[in-house]
Chains A and B, each alone.
Chain A
Amino acid sequence: MQTNVANNGSRLSLLPLELSGAQFTIWTMKNGTSQTPQLLATRFVDAYQKAATVTIQTGDPYALIPRTRVDKPFTVRLNVSGLRPIVRGGDLTGTSVRFNHTASTYGIGVHTPPGTMTANTVFNGTINQNGLHTFNFAGANISSSNLSAASGEENFTVSSLTGSGALDTTLATGRMQVWPRSTVAISGITANATYATMPEVTFTYNDLYPDSKTYVQVYRGPSVLGTTGTTINSSIIPIADVTPQDRTFILRNCDNFLTDDGQYTIEVLHTTPWGTERLALVMFFADRTIEVTGQVFSSEF
């Protein structure tokens, strides 16, 4: 049935609601030479009360918005209810909902959603069973030529469908932010070089995780993963933020850590909700022995 509607206000449906549902669409047509209708709104109404929830679980307990790191696993749970059972040869109206999963990449070094953002479809499908649907992901699904340094977000949407299978009302959504892997560049010291005094060493951090602690430790001997060294207290960088952070730390006047001559290791450790990672290391040698080259003169008078 087609009927005219006023510019605003409300009115009752002229036809009674069928059990199989009814679709309402509002169109507008411009007078004149071009009379292509424009769809203003559509809504499908049926007698079944469909509902859905989307729950995203990551390794980060941050409460405001689910967030994860690009390389970390996460789980999405969809709970769907109110779907009619599919009857062979029967009307399919109300028997399924649409599930859409998209991923958007912000860009390297960008930690806020840009004004225009392309949402790439990861999955677009229908669910025709009530109950809990669990999906375990090995890592994030954003795309980038430099994925390790990429930020972005993933969105999960469950929508009801019209009688013809087109999208209708959004039942539930979930949004998860994806942050890059942290990096550090160490400069001012050459690996395996020998130093009489500790040189000035610069640590340049990129994309430190928004819930993290990063610090430098020094210990005598070659690098052994898991060794507890002497923590440089001034190097500790605690981050409790909403986005990844860049920082710089300069290690100066640290000769007191070099207790003896020999080999030393400097490590950068980064602790996040997923545990502690060694971001980088550099080994060097300390040799503080003063060697005096001289001659012994002997004279007899």
Chain B
Amino acid sequence: MKLPFSIFGLFTLVSVALGAPKNPVIQDRISDAEFNARHAKAVLPYAALEGAGMKAVESEKSEQDEVADLLARSAFLTDGRQCTILPAGAVIHVPKNREDRVVKSAPSLPLVTWEDFLRANASWIREFAIDSDQATGAKPFDPKAAQALGSSGSIVISTYIRQPVAPVAGVKTAFAKALEAAK
């Protein structure tokens, strides 16, 4: 016959009941000095991180860094009265006589949208329309189109859906080679 609980278990229960203290365990409040000493010795649980898939970050990217990044990635087109900002990589071709129209730092001129700037300066800006595959270099562009644009004497800006887009660097190189080949 099985008992609902063992003799040992019963003995344990009785022992606990008999031996139970009248008071809960009371401890003395440790002194502030002792507390400070213990606190100083405490080790953060982040000590061994690599094994847990964790890694401390050395420095944080600040908003100033983000601004610097944006300016580094950008260029400004100017006609002397107004300017517009666009990805630096979108500037595919600049004829010698138009080099002053492309600047790296923001000129002290009114900033207008790409569409407005293009409309006002359509005589010396040409769009080099590419699709997303051409932008990533996955698909080559037609060199004849590049030659036609490059020989127009205009600044050539690569666009995707009429918006300036910076393709991979190889596109600009291929564009220059196509122009060279046409000479």
Give chain B nearest CB distance to A168 CB in angstroms.
Answer: 11
Q: Evaluate contact between B29 and A181: CB separation under 8 angstroms.
A: yes
Q: Evaluate contact between A29 and B106: CB separation under 8 angstroms.
A: yes
Q: Evaluate contact between A2 and B164: CB separation under 8 angstroms.
A: yes
Q: Evaluate contact between A277 and B26: CB separation under 8 angstroms.
A: yes
CA–CA, A139 and B36, complex, Å: 11
CA–CA, A271 and B27, complex, Å: 10
B53 within 8 Å of A by Cβ? Answer: yes
Who on chain A is nearest to B24 by CB? A276
B49 within 8 Å of A by Cβ? Answer: yes
Q: Evaluate contact between A15 and B27: CB separation under 8 angstroms.
A: no
Q: Evaluate contact between A123 and B56: CB separation under 8 angstroms.
A: yes
Among listed B62-70, B121-129, B146-154, B172-180, interface-contacting one: B62-70
**Which of B28, B32, B35 lies in contact with A277, CB distance below 8 A?**
B28
CA–CA, A123 and B38, complex, Å: 20
Q: Mark B35-57, 1 if CB is under 8 A from A, else 0.
A: 11011001111100100111111
List, in ascending order, chain B residues with CB within 8 A of A282's CB: none
Q: Evaluate contact between A129 and B53: CB separation under 8 angstroms.
A: yes
A98 within 8 Å of B by Cβ? Answer: yes
Among listed B3-11, B94-102, B111-119, interface-contacting one: B111-119
The answer to whether residues A4 and B57 also contact, given A31-B110, A39-B67, A147-B36 and a CB cut-off of 8 A, is: no
Q: Evaluate contact between A226 and B113: CB separation under 8 angstroms.
A: no
Who on chain B is nearest to A99 by CB? B54
Q: Evaluate contact between A225 and B46: CB separation under 8 angstroms.
A: no
Give chain B nearest CB distance to A120 CB in angstroms.
Answer: 13
Q: Evaluate contact between A133 and B70: CB separation under 8 angstroms.
A: no
List, in ascending order, chain B residues with CB within 8 A of A122's CB: 44
The answer to whether residues A133 and B166 also contact, given A123-B44, A269-B26 and a CB cut-off of 8 A, is: no
Give chain B nearest CB distance to A172 CB in angstroms.
Answer: 16
Number of contact residues on B: which range applies? 35 or more
B22 within 8 Å of A by Cβ? Answer: yes
Q: Evaluate contact between A3 and B163: CB separation under 8 angstroms.
A: yes
- Count of A-B contacts judged by CB separation below 8 Å: 151
Q: Evaluate contact between B166 and A1: CB separation under 8 angstroms.
A: yes
Who on chain B is nearest to A73 by CB? B42
Give chain A nearest CB distance to B183 CB in angstroms.
Answer: 31
| Interface of chain A residues 19 through 76 with chain B (CB within 8 A) | 25, 27, 29, 31-33, 35-39, 42, 71
The answer to whether residues A278 and B27 also contact, given A4-B113, A27-B70 and a CB cut-off of 8 A, is: yes
Q: Evaluate contact between B29 and A278: CB separation under 8 angstroms.
A: yes
Q: Evaluate contact between B27 and A276: CB separation under 8 angstroms.
A: yes
| Interface of chain A residues 247 through 293 with chain B (CB within 8 A) | 269-271, 275-280
CA–CA, A127 and B51, complex, Å: 11
Given contacts A98-B57, A148-B35, A181-B35, 13 further A-B contacts (CB under 8 A): A25-B66, A39-B63, A71-B39, A101-B46, A123-B56, A124-B60, A125-B56, A126-B55, A133-B54, A146-B32, A226-B23, A228-B22, A277-B28
Q: Pick 25 A–B contacts, CB within 8 A, sort by A.
A: A14-B161, A27-B70, A29-B85, A29-B106, A32-B110, A35-B111, A36-B67, A36-B106, A37-B67, A38-B67, A71-B38, A123-B44, A124-B57, A125-B57, A133-B53, A133-B54, A138-B39, A138-B43, A148-B35, A181-B35, A275-B26, A276-B23, A276-B27, A277-B27, A280-B29
